[in-house]
C-alpha cells in the first residue's frame, strides 16, 4: 500500500488539529485552570502523532510524541501550567506546523524543529516521571480480571509470542482469554500484571484444564495471532494467515478544487445554453418543447445549487487561524487585545474565502498596530486597558458581511488630512472633508499615516489592497470610525462567485448587468423630481435625499432626451451609503455567469467582469463599489 | 459475503485509510464515527459485524465505548486501534471486551489478519 496517496489528507487534517491546538492553547492561556483544554490539545497532538507515524514522517511523530509527554506531565499534575510551559507549547505548535509542511514536501526538518525537539527532550526528561511516558500508561491499579494463579488441574501450556509482535502483553492477555474459553486456566506465570511491564518478553505459561487434543488447543490459541509457539511437551504449533482482497469502491473521495472550478464553468455554460433554449422555446407553441425546456431548466438549477453547495465552506476554515496571529501580534506590539470571532459557521464560496484571507490579515494587523492603543494610553483616556477586537461574519440579504471592529483610536481626521496635503492629494485650504472623502483618501494606493514603518503594518500598503481585493470579488468595503472610539471595517461579499443573480439594464444599445448583491430597489424618477443639491443631481425618496449617477454620463454616452414619464433608477446600497443609478431601461432579473475579466489599465473602474447572456449577447457587469 | 464494518476514529485520515484497507479486502464499511458517543449510537443503529475502535477520541474514549457496546451486545466484535506505547490502555480495552487490537502505524496485512481473526 502506498501511503503517499494520503499525503494531502494528512496535511489537511494535521492543519486542522494544529489550528485546534493553537486555539486551545489560547484558551488555556486565558484560564490556566481550564483542564479541558489540556485534554483537547492532547487529543489533537496524539492524532497528529498517529497519522505521522502511519505516513512514516518520523520528525513529526517524534515532535508530537514529545509534546504528548509534556502534556501528560500536566495531566498527571507533575507539571504546572506556567508562562514558560505555555510558551514552549506555542513554539512546539509552530514547530509541528513546520515539520508537517516539510514532511509532506519531502524536505529535511528545519534546524528550528531539531532545536525545539532537543528542548522538549530536555524538558520531558527532567520530569519527576523520568522516562517520557505516553498517555496514562502507568496504571498499576488497573483492575486485572484474571483467574487465580496457583496449582491447578490439566496440562501445562507454554506460549511464546512472536518477538516482532507489538504490545506483547496485550497479545498474551488475548491468548489467556482464548484459553479461558476452552477451559479453566490457572497458575499463570508470570502473573498477568507483569504483562504490562516493559520487560515482558512474550513468554508465559499456564495450566489449562480442558478437553481436546494438544493440536486442537494449539491451533485455537495460535489463532489469536502473533503467537510464535504453543508448546505442551516439545510440540509446537504455528499459524499464519494471508490476506486476500479484491478491489472495492472506497466510500470517500476528495476532489481537486480545480475540478470543482471546471465543473462550475461547465455548469455556467449550461446555464447560458438553458437561457438560449428558453428564448427559442418561447417562439414555438409546442407543448413537448416547453415540457423538456422546463425539465432542463429544473435540472440545471438543481445541478447548479448542488455544485454551489459543494463549494461552500464555513468561514472558520480561515478565521480559526486568526486568534493565534492576533495574540502574537499583540505581544509583539506590546498591546493588550481581547479578540473575539463571531459567526464562524457562516458559509462562503471557497474561492471567495481564499481571497479574503489576506485582506483580513491586513485589517486585523492594522487594528492591532494602529487601531488599539497601548494599555497606558487607553487607561489615560479612560478606556479599559484591554482593547477589544472583533471579527464577525453575518449573513445579509444576498450577501455576507465580514466586520473587523476595534475600540481603538479610530482614524484621525487631522492625520489623514495632513498626510493627504503632504502627498499633494488635497490642497492646503480644504478643511472640510466628509467621512466619504476621507475614506477615499485612505483607500488610495500608498497612503499610510503610520508614523513609523513597523514590521507589522504601515509599509505604505494599506486599505487600497483591501478595496482592490473586494472589487475583484464583486464585493465592497466600507469604513465607520469615530476618532478616539474605534473603527469598523465592513466587507460585503456575494456568498458565491461564478453565478449571481443580476438586474439587466440597457443604456443605448448595450446591456449591463448589476449584481443584486448591492441592489436595494428600483423606481422611476420623473424629471420634475430631480433636484440639484451642491451641484449634484438628487431625488427625494421617502423623505431622504438620494444622490443620482447617470450611467450614460459615467459611460461617456451622449445624454438623450429624458422621457417625461421618467427614467428607471436602480438604488444601490453599500452599508449606509446609497446612490441611485439612472439607466435607460430595466430588462429584468437573470442569473448570470461571471467570467473572469482582464480589465486593461485605465479602463473605467465601474466594471467588475463580463458575462454572456442566454441569447449569446455579451454584457458587462457593473461594480456597485465603483458607482456609489 | 462482505462483512459489515463500523470504523471509529477521530481522524478522517485514519478512517479513510482503514476504510480503504477494509474495502480493498472486500469488507463493507457501513458507517463511521468520530467520537466514542457516536460509535455507541451507530453500533446500536447499524449492528455491524465488526467495529474498529480508536482509543483516544473526544466525547467518550474508545475504551468506554467498548464497554457500552458490549453492554448493548455481548457478542460485539471490537478491534482496537492503538498507538505505540498504549499497552495499558489496550489491556484495559481487552478487559472491557475488545477482541483484538492493531497498532499504528498500520500495516494493511496486519489489520486484515486481525479483522479475520476477530470475525473468524
Task: Note if A373 is an active site residue.
Answer: no
| B44/A255: higher pLDDT | B44
CB burial class (10 A; 0-12, 13-18, 19+) of residue A621? buried
Q: What is the CATH number of the domain that holds B95?
A: 3.40.50.2300
Task: Note if A68 is an active site residue.
Answer: yes
- What is the predicted pLDDT for the residue at B45? 94
Give the pLDDT band of residue A581 (cuts 50, 70, 90). very high
Flag the least confident range among A320-324, A358-362, A560-564: A560-564
Measure Cα distances from A202 to A164, A432, B89 in Å: 10, 88, 18
Query: Hey, of A248, A249, A253, A255, which one would you mutate to test binding to chain B, going by the most B CBs within 10 A of its CB?
Result: A248
| A chain contacts of residue B103, beta-carbon cutoff 8 Å | 166-167
Q: How far apart are the first and last CA of chain A?
A: 59
How far apart, in whole angstroms, are the C-alpha atoms of residue A292 and residue A165?
Answer: 65
Give the pLDDT band of residue B82 (cuts 50, 70, 90). confident
How far apart, in whole angstroms, are the C-alpha atoms of residue A68 and residue A493?
Answer: 42
- What is the predicted pLDDT for the residue at B100? 93
- What is the predicted pLDDT for the residue at A516? 84
Closest residue on chain A to B59 (Cα): A40
Q: What is the arithmetic mean of pLDDT over A606-622? A: 77
- Closest by CA position to A347, among listed A311, A321, A305, A391: A311
| B chain contacts of residue A250, beta-carbon cutoff 8 Å | 16, 19-20, 23
**pLDDT tens-digit readout, A334-364:** 899 999 999 888 888 887 888 888 889 888 9
CATH topology of domain A3-125: 1.20.120
Residues pairing with A605 in the sheet: none
Flag the least confident range among A84-88, A397-401, A565-569: A397-401
- What is the predicted pLDDT for the residue at A141? 38
CATH class name, domain A155-231? alpha beta
Residue A176 C-alpha from the chain's centroid: 49
| DSSP, residue by residue, A71-111 | HHHHHTTSS---HHHHHHHHHHHHHHHHHHHHHHHT-PPPH
> What phi-psi label fits residue A124: left (phi over 0), alpha (psi between -120 and 50 degrees) or beta?
alpha
Flag the least confident range among A60-74, A150-164, A289-303, B17-31: A150-164
Could you tell me which residues come within 8 angstroms of residue A241 by beta carbon, excluding any fewer than 6 positions away? B113, B116, B117
**pLDDT tens-digit readout, A215-247:** 888 888 888 888 888 887 433 333 333 333 333
- Closest by CA position to A64, among listed A104, A107, A21, A35: A21
Do A167 and B87 lie within an 8 Å CB cutoff? yes
| A chain contacts of residue B117, beta-carbon cutoff 8 Å | 223-225, 241
**pLDDT tens-digit readout, A407-454:** 988 877 777 777 777 777 666 555 555 666 666 676 665 565 554 434
**pLDDT tens-digit readout, B17-46:** 999 999 989 999 999 999 999 999 999 999
What pTM, to 2 d.p., does this model score?
A: 0.49
Q: Work out the mean pLDDT of chain A and round it to a whole number.
A: 78
Flag the least confident range among A102-116, A478-492, B95-109: A102-116
Q: Would you give the DSSP letter of residue A563?
A: P
Q: Contact at 8 Å (CB) between B85 and A196?
A: no
A499-627 CATH: 2.40.50.180
Domain boundaries, chain A: 3-125, 155-231, 257-313, 315-494, 499-627
How far apart, in whole angstroms, are the C-alpha atoms of residue A570 and residue A627?
Answer: 11
Q: Is A315-494 a CATH 3.30.465.10 domain?
A: no
**pLDDT tens-digit readout, A260-295:** 778 877 887 787 788 788 888 888 888 888 888 888
Residue A428 C-alpha from the chain's centroid: 46
For chain A, say whether B103 makes contact (Cβ under 8 Å): yes
If contacts are CB pairs under 8 Å, which of residues 15-44 in chain B contact chain A? 16-17, 19-21, 23-29
Catalytic residue among A17, A22, A65, A68: A68
Flag the least confident range among A41-55, A237-251, A582-596, B64-78: A237-251
In this prediction the ipTM stands at 0.84
User: In terms of residue numbers, what domain contains B109?
Assistant: 4-119
Q: Contact at 8 Å (CB) between A611 and A619?
A: yes
Q: Quote the cell numbers at residue A552.
A: 450614460
Nearest CB to B11 within list A47, A174, A224 = A47
Do B10 and A43 lie within an 8 Å CB cutoff? yes
Catalytic residue among A17, A65, A97, A366: A366
| DSSP, residue by residue, A186-215 | EEEES-GGGGGSTT--SEEEEEEE--S-HH
CATH topology of domain A257-313: Helix Hairpins (1.10.287)
Nearest CB to A54 within list B17, B56, B99 = B17
Amino acid at each position: 500500500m502506498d501511503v503517499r496517496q494520503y499525503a494531502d489528507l494528512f496535511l489537511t487534517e494535521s492543519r486542522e488539529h494544529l489550528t485546534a491546538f493553537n486555539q486551545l492553547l489560547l484558551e488555556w492561556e486565558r484560564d490556566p485552570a481550564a483542564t479541558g483544554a489540556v485534554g483537547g490539545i492532547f487529543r489533537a497532538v496524539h492524532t497528529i502523532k498517529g497519522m505521522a507515524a502511519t505516513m512514516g514522517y518520523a520528525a513529526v511523530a517524534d515532535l508530537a510524541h514529545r509534546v504528548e509527554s509534556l502534556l501528560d506531565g500536566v495531566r498527571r499534575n507533575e507539571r504546572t501550567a506556567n508562562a514558560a510551559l505555555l510558551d514552549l507549547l506555542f513554539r512546539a505548535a509552530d514547530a509541528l506546523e513546520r515539520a508537517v509542511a516539510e514532511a509532506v514536501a519531502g524536505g529535511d526538518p528545519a534546524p528550528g524543529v531539531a532545536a525545539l525537539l532537543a528542548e522538549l527532550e530536555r524538558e520531558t526528561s527532567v520530569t519527576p516521571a523520568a522516562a517520557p511516558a505516553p498517555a496514562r500508561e502507568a496504571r498499576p491499579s488497573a483492575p486485572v480480571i484474571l483467574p487465580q494463579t496457583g496449582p491447578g488441574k490439566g496440562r501445562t501450556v507454554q506460549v511464546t509470542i512472536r518477538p516482532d509482535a507489538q504490545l506483547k502483553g496485550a497479545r498474551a492477555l488475548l491468548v489467556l482469554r482464548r484459553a479461558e474459553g476452552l477451559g479453566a486456566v490457572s497458575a499463570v506465570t508470570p502473573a498477568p500484571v507483569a504483562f504490562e511491564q516493559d520487560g515482558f518478553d512474550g513468554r508465559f505459561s499456564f495450566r489449562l484444564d480442558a478437553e481436546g487434543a494438544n493440536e486442537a488447543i494449539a491451533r485455537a490459541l495460535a489463532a489469536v495471532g502473533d503467537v510464535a509457539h504453543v508448546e505442551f511437551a516439545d510440540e509446537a504449533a504455528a499459524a499464519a494467515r494471508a490476506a486476500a482482497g479484491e478491489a472495492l469502491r472506497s466510500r470517500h473521495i476528495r476532489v481537486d478544487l480545480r475540478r470543482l472550478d471546471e465543473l462550475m464553468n461547465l455548469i455556467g455554460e449550461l446555464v447560458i445554453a438553458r437561457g438560449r433554449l428558453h428564448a427559442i422555446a418561447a417562439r414555438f407553441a409546442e407543448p413537448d418543447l416547453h415540457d423538456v425546456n422546463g425539465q432542463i431548466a429544473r435540472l440545471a438549477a438543481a445541478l447548479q445549487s448542488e455544485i454551489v453547495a459543494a463549494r461552500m465552506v464555513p468561514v472558520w476554515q480561515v478565521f480559526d487561524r486568526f486568534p493565534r496571529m492576533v495574540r502574537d501580534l499583540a505581544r509583539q506590539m506590546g498591546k493588550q487585545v481581547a479578540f473575539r470571532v463571531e459567526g464562524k459557521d457562516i458559509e462562503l464560496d471557497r474561492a471567495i474565502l481564499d481571497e479574503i484571507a489576506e485582506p483580513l490579515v491586513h485589517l486585523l494587523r492594522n487594528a492591532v498596530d494602529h487601531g488599539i492603543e497601548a494599555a497606558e494610553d487607553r487607561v489615560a483616556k479612560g478606556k479599559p486597558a484591554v482593547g477589544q477586537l472583533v471579527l464577525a461574519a453575518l449573513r445579509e440579504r444576498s450577501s455576507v458581511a465580514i466586520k473587523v471592529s476595534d475600540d481603538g483610536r479610530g482614524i484621525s481626521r487631522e492625520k489623514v488630512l495632513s498626510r493627504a496635503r503632504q502627498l499633494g492629494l488635497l490642497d492646503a485650504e480644504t478643511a472640510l472633508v466628509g467621512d466619504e472623502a476621507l475614506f477615499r483618501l485612505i483607500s488610495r494606493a500608498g497612503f499610510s499615516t503610520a508614523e513609523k514603518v513597523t514590521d507589522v503594518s504601515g509599509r505604505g500598503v494599506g486599505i487600497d489592497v483591501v478595496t482592490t481585493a473586494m472589487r475583484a470579488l464583486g464585493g465592497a468595503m466600507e469604513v465607520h470610525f469615530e476618532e478616539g472610539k474605534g473603527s469598523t471595517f465592513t466587507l460585503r461579499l456575494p456568498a458565491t462567485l461564478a453565478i449571481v443573480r443580476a438586474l439587466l439594464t440597457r443604456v443605448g444599445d448595450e446591456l449591463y448587468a448589476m449584481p443584486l448583491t448591492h441592489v436595494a430597489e428600483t423606481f422611476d424618477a420623473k424629471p420634475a423630481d430631480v433636484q440639484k443639491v451642491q451641484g449634484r443631481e438628487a431625488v427625494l425618496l421617502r423623505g431622504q435625499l438620494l444622490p443620482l449617477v447617470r450611467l450614460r454620463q459615467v459611460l461617456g454616452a451622449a445624454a438623450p432626451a429624458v422621457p417625461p414619464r421618467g427614467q428607471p433608477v436602480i438604488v444601490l446600497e453599500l452599508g449606509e451609503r446609497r446612490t441611485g443609478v439612472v439607466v435607460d431601461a430595466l430588462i429584468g432579473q437573470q442569473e448570470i455567469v461571471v467570467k473572469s475579466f482582464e480589465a486593461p489599465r485605465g479602463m473605467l473602474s465601474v466594471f467588475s467582469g463580463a458575462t454572456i447572456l442566454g441569447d449569446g449577447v455579451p454584457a458587462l457587469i457593473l461594480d456597485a463599489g465603483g458607482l456609489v | 459475503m462482505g462483512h459489515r464494518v463500523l470504523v471509529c476514529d477521530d481522524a478522517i485520515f485514519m478512517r479513510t485509510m482503514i476504510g480503504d484497507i477494509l474495502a480493498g479486502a472486500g469488507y463493507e464499511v457501513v458507517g463511521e464515527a468520530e467520537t466514542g458517543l457516536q460509535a455507541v449510537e451507530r453500533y446500536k443503529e447499524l449492528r455491524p459485524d465488526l467495529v474498529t475502535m480508536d482509543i483516544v477520541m473526544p466525547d467518550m474514549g474508545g475504551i468506554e465505548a467498548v464497554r457500552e457496546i458490549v453492554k448493548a451486545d455481548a457478542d460485539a466484535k471490537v478491534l482496537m486501534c492503538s498507538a505505540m506505547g498504549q499497552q495499558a490502555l489496550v489491556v484495559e480495552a481487552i478487559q472491557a471486551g475488545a477482541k483484538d487490537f492493531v497498532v499504528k502505524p498500520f500495516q494493511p496485512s496486519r489489520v486484515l489478519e486481525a479483522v479475520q481473526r476477530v470475525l473468524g
